[in-house]
Amino acid sequence: MTTAGRQGRLPAEREDHYMRLRGAHVVGTRALLAVRENIRAAIDAKAMICIYGPTGHGKSMAVNASLRDLAPQITHRIQFRARPSTRDLRHELFHALGLPGRPPSHAIEFDRTLRGALEEPRVLVCDEAQWLSKLCFEYLRYLWDDTSTDLTIIFTGGNGCFEMLQSEPMLESRVYAWQEIDPMALDEVLTVIPAFHPVWTQADPDLIAMCDREAAHGNFRAWAKITHHLTAGLKQTARTTVDEDLLRWAYSKLGRRAA
């Protein structure tokens, strides 16, 4: 399989957690359950939705885990790290959809090819959507508006994603649902983190609360980082349980995080 073909597919489950954290589980946070329900509704309605929020709160994990259950065979992903042109977008779609042969050389022919491929049910995940330009949004709207296509679009992104989509009235008016992923509240942290990784199963809830208050602040990626350092520390010190000294050592690696 080509690199482009792999990029168009859902990532493997081992990619869900930061740095492929061993022993970590996908846990049913409130955000994940809401993402799953919004995606289910979007697929049923063949709609556009937007899932957004600051980095590290579990957007991609929630979307990927939900789509593995709901639509694994028809999901395709695209992602850009810089402003793409519509030509870039066409080529990325061509490869993400796994279309055969070489990309057409003329825009009209290219559009006809993509519309034809989208006549069968497809779910398109546009990750880091804040990088898309106005022309790219217009092109995606053009494909979605076509009466012959059967397309669900899930826009996901971090800082600036909501503002970018809201600034495009023709697109914003078509978005079926908006979901912001917030940090986990402390009561959820105390329920979720012990189920997230075995290292926390027997941990004192007061230590978990201290860690969240002083370092993690409900950010799932921060919790994954701390867990990485903590498992390494347990191994190095031959300890079997988490104590305050070891925990403070683990999250000191993160530097200071604002709540």
Q: Quick check: 175 pLDDT over 60?
A: yes
Query: Which band of pLDDT confidence, cut at 50, 70 and 90, is reported for residue 206?
Result: very high
pLDDT at 183 over 50: yes
**Sequence ranges of the domains in the chain:** 3-180, 186-252
Q: What are the tens digits of pLDDT across the range 229-247?
A: 999 999 999 999 999 999 9
Mean pLDDT of 106-119: 98
Per-residue pLDDT band at 255 (split at 50, 70, 90): confident
Contact 236, 71 (CB under 8 A): no
Task: Fold for 3-180, please state it.
Answer: Rossmann fold (3.40.50)
**Alpha carbons 247 and 231: distance in angstroms, whole number:** 10
Rounded to whole angstroms, the Cα distance separating 122 from 165 reads 21
Give the mean pLDDT of 109-131: 97
Inform me whether the pLDDT recorded for 169 exceeds 70. yes
Q: Are 45 and 93 in contact (CB under 8 A)?
A: no
- 17's tokens: 């957690």
pLDDT mean over 126-150: 96
In the chain, pLDDT over 70 holds for what percent of residues? 96
pLDDT band at residue 258, thresholds of 50, 70 and 90?
Answer: low
**Secondary-structure breakdown of the chain: helix, strand, coil percentages, each rounded to the nearest 5:** 55, 10, 35
Q: Looking at 71-212, list the stretches that DSSP marks H as alpha helix, in order from N- to C-terminal side.
A: 86-96, 107-117, 134-145, 161-166, 169-172, 186-196, 205-211
What average pLDDT is seen over the chain? Answer: 94
Q: For the residues 45-61, what does the mean pLDDT come to?
A: 95
pLDDT at 14: 87
Helix or strand (DSSP H, E) at 127: strand 122-127
81-111 pLDDT, tens digit each: 889 999 999 999 999 999 999 999 999 999 9
48 contacts 176 by C-beta, under 8 angstroms = yes
pLDDT of 19 higher than 70 = yes
pTM as predicted: 0.92
Distance CA 95, CA 169 (A): 29
Structure confidence at residue 7 as a pLDDT band (50, 70, 90): low
Average pLDDT over residues 217-225: 96
How many angstroms separate the CA atoms of 39 and 62, rounded?
Answer: 10
Listed residue (57, 38, 58) closest to 48, CA to CA: 38
